[in-house]
């Protein structure tokens, strides 16, 4: 970047001519993230509310573009890393999110569960230990009082508040279970995200019939890790008048998990009337 050019462009941001502003803002956005510190510095030095808003809008558009680019790259080459996908979604709302802080919080939770875990236990007993630490000792729970709060979808907020929705708590459960070498996977059940526990880890060679036979039981991450069966899923679907499709019983991939997370965010922001975020997130959905 040429600092003189950047400063000259920033000085033109308060130009009343719409075409001039659009040209200037377009050139600034073309610089990407590198120009954000200069824009933030300019924001701090002015008291003009119009210039404040224009600078904020440009910074947000740059950061939204970064989110879109990073998510596209994750979908194409890095979707085996669920945590990285979640952090990309978090940075949509919290662009200055510190990854190391999140990693330390997750590692602390993992160690708390690991210290109580005995791998000679049966799968059901292992899950009971996992649930006891996560829900009873660490006090994580479903946010039943404000289910449509967008904050329920952001992992950093969940780790601080210890409250979330079924998809966010399910993602946290998946990340921790994966760290602890437990064969737990996400299942996209209509109106609810659940988890499945298997006899062993799923491989690329496993077909759907083998995967379905390998399910030992299901876990409800929103309701303190409650254990249930495929018969319970069938009953749940019957109550909703939904045909019991095979995909409601077997795991979905990480791309689908992140897509569900973004869809939950869209519904939350629609409920809050934040339509600009709805439009931005709908563009992210189109990447899948």
Distance CA 135, CA 112 (A): 12
| The pLDDT of residue 38 is above 90 | no
Find how far residue 134's CA is from the centre of its chain: 19
DSSP summary character for residue 167? H
Q: Is it the case that residue 12 has pLDDT exceeding 70?
A: yes
Domain boundaries, the chain: 3-78, 82-285
Phi/psi of residue 158, nearest 5 degrees = -65, -40
Cα distance from N-terminal residue to C-terminal residue, the chain: 33
For the chain, percent of residues with pLDDT exceeding 70 = 100
Mean residue pLDDT across the chain: 93
Residue 200 — pLDDT band, cuts 50, 70, 90? Answer: very high
CATH of 3-78 among 3.90.550, 3.60.60, 1.25.10, 1.20.1640: 1.25.10
Bridge partners of 186, per DSSP, are 195
Reply yes or no on whether the pLDDT at 81 is more than 70: yes
| Orientation angle between helical segments 275-285 and 82-93, nearest 10 degrees | 150
Q: Does residue 1 carry a pLDDT above 70?
A: no
- Can you tell me the distance from the alpha carbon of 50 to that of 14, in angstroms, rounded to the nearest whole number? 7
Whether 155 shows a pLDDT value over 70: the answer reads: yes
In the predicted structure, residue 161 carries a pLDDT above the cut 80 = yes
d(CA 241, CA 260): 21
- For 48-73, give one letter per residue: b (16+ CB within 10 A) or e: eeebeebbeebbeebbbebbbebbee
Q: Which residues pair with 198 in a beta bridge?
A: 215
pLDDT at 44: 86
Overall size of the chain counted in residues: 288
| Residue given tokens 């990693």 in the structure block | 103
Q: What is the rounded CA–CA span in Å between residue 208 and residue 253?
A: 13
Is the pLDDT reported for residue 236 higher than 70? yes
Asked whether residue 7 carries a pLDDT value surpassing 90, the answer given is: no
Say how far residue 112 (Cα) sits from the centre of its chain: 23
Q: pTM above the 0.85 mark?
A: yes
């Amino acid at each position: 970047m040429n600092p003189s050019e950047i400063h000259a462009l920033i000085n033109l941001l308060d130009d009343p001519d719409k075409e001039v502003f659009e040209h200037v803002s377009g050139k600034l956005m073309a610089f990407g993230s590198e120009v954000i510190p200069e824009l933030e510095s300019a924001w701090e030095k002015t008291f003009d509310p119009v210039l404040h808003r224009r600078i904020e809008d440009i910074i947000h558009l740059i950061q939204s573009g970064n989110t879109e680019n990073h998510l596209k790259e994750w979908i194409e080459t890095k979707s085996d890393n669920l945590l990285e996908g979640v952090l990309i979604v978090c940075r949509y709302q919290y662009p200055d999110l510190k990854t190391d802080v999140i990693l330390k919080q997750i590692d602390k939770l993992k160690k708390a569960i690991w210290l109580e875990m005995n791998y000679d236990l049966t799968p059901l007993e292992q899950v009971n230990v996992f649930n006891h630490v996560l829900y009873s000792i660490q006090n994580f729970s479903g946010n039943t009082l404000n289910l449509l709060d967008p904050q329920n979808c952001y992992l950093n907020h969940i780790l601080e508040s210890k409250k979330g929705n079924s998809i966010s708590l399910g993602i946290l459960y998946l990340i921790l279970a994966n760290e602890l070498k437990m064969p737990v996977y996400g299942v996209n059940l209509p109106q609810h995200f659940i988890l499945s526990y298997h006899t062993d880890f799923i491989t690329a060679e496993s077909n759907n019939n083998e995967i379905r036979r390998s399910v030992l039981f299901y876990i409800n991450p929103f309701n303190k890790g409650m254990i249930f069966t495929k018969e319970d899923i069938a009953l749940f679907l019957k109550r909703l008048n939904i045909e019991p499709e095979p995909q409601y019983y077997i795991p979905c991939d990480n791309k689908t998990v992140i897509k569900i997370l973004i869809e939950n965010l869209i519904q939350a922001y629609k409920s809050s009337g934040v339509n600009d975020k709805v439009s931005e997130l709908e563009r992210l959905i189109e990447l899948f």
